[in-house]
Structure formats: structure tokens, C-alpha cells
Amino acid sequence: MKGLERRLLEKQINPTAMRLVVLDHLVKQTNAVSLTDMELGMEKTDRVTLYRSIRTFEEHGLVHRIEDGTGVTKFALCQPDCTIDGHHDLHVHFYCINCQETHCLPKTQIPEVKLPGGYERQETSLLVKGLCSACKK
């Protein structure tokens, strides 16, 4: 748990027992997960506490939310450069139409998008759909 505790402290999050359990669960995931996935995958959680932990993580730049077009919000751990001041990793997300899993592609950055005058960006997201490397085989 030591590494997990440090990871929370680095993001200025108080490492409560519940938050450590949630983080421990998140680091074991290989794809983005919904609140329901997390709830089912963890023992002794209730949705409210879980949701609060995720909100805190999101506000402190530890996780980010992903809208993958399925209508269910999913969450994944952020890259180290996200902080309480904001999310800075603009990577592409990939939704596999076969296994229906959503993956972060941290090495695939979203290209700069030019906006017409008068428009102000708040966030940018880019979702690519197709077959993931495991399903492509």
C-alpha cells in the first residue's frame, strides 16, 4: 500500500482507507471502467462513497472521465502530469467494437485543433472506434 499512499499524497489527496482501496482497484485495470464495473469488482463498497472518492480523484488530476459513446461514463488513471490545476494529458481514447472495452492511448496525443475566432475551448476529447490489438489477432 505504500506506493499507493505516495501516489495519493503526490496529488494532494488525503489517503483514507477507502481511497486506497479504490486506487488499488484502478491500478489493476487494463481498460477504462464505469462506476458499476468498480462496484462489482470491489468488496465492501457502497456507490455513494465510491462516487465521492472518484470525484476527489478527478478533481485532483488522478483519474479522468471518458465518454465513449456507450452512454456510460468510464474512468481511467491519468498520466503523472495531471494535477489539481487541471488535466493536461490530451490523449486519444479507443473503443473496441468487439470486446467493448475502452482504452487510454497515452502515446497518441490529440492534435492541436484550431477554433474560429470567438470560440473558447474548455476541453477536447477524441475517441477512435475499431478493433483493439487483442481482438484484431
Give the shortest CB-98-to-Zn ion separation in angstroms: 5
Site for Zn ion, residues 94 to 113, rule: CB under 5 A: 96, 98-99, 104
Residues 2-61 touching Zn ion, rule: CB under 5 A, are none
The partner residues of 74 in beta bridges, in order of sequence, read: 34, 66
Q: Determine how β-strand 127-130 pairs with β-strand 91-96.
A: parallel
* Comparison of 48 and 113: residue with beta carbon closer to Zn ion: 113
Q: Are strands 73-77 and 127-130 parallel, antiparallel or unpaired?
A: unpaired
Find how far residue 22's CA is from the centre of its chain: 13
Q: Does residue 63 bind Zn ion (CB under 5 A)?
A: no
19 vs 93, which CB is nearer to Zn ion?
93
Determine the Cα–Cα distance for residues 36 and 58; give it in Å rounded to an integer.
17
Q: Does 132 bind Zn ion (CB under 5 A)?
A: yes
CB of 54 to Zn ion, least distance (A): 14
Which uninterrupted H or E stretch holds 105? strand 102-109
**Which residues sit at the interface with Zn ion, rule CB under 5 A?**
76, 96, 98-99, 104, 132, 135
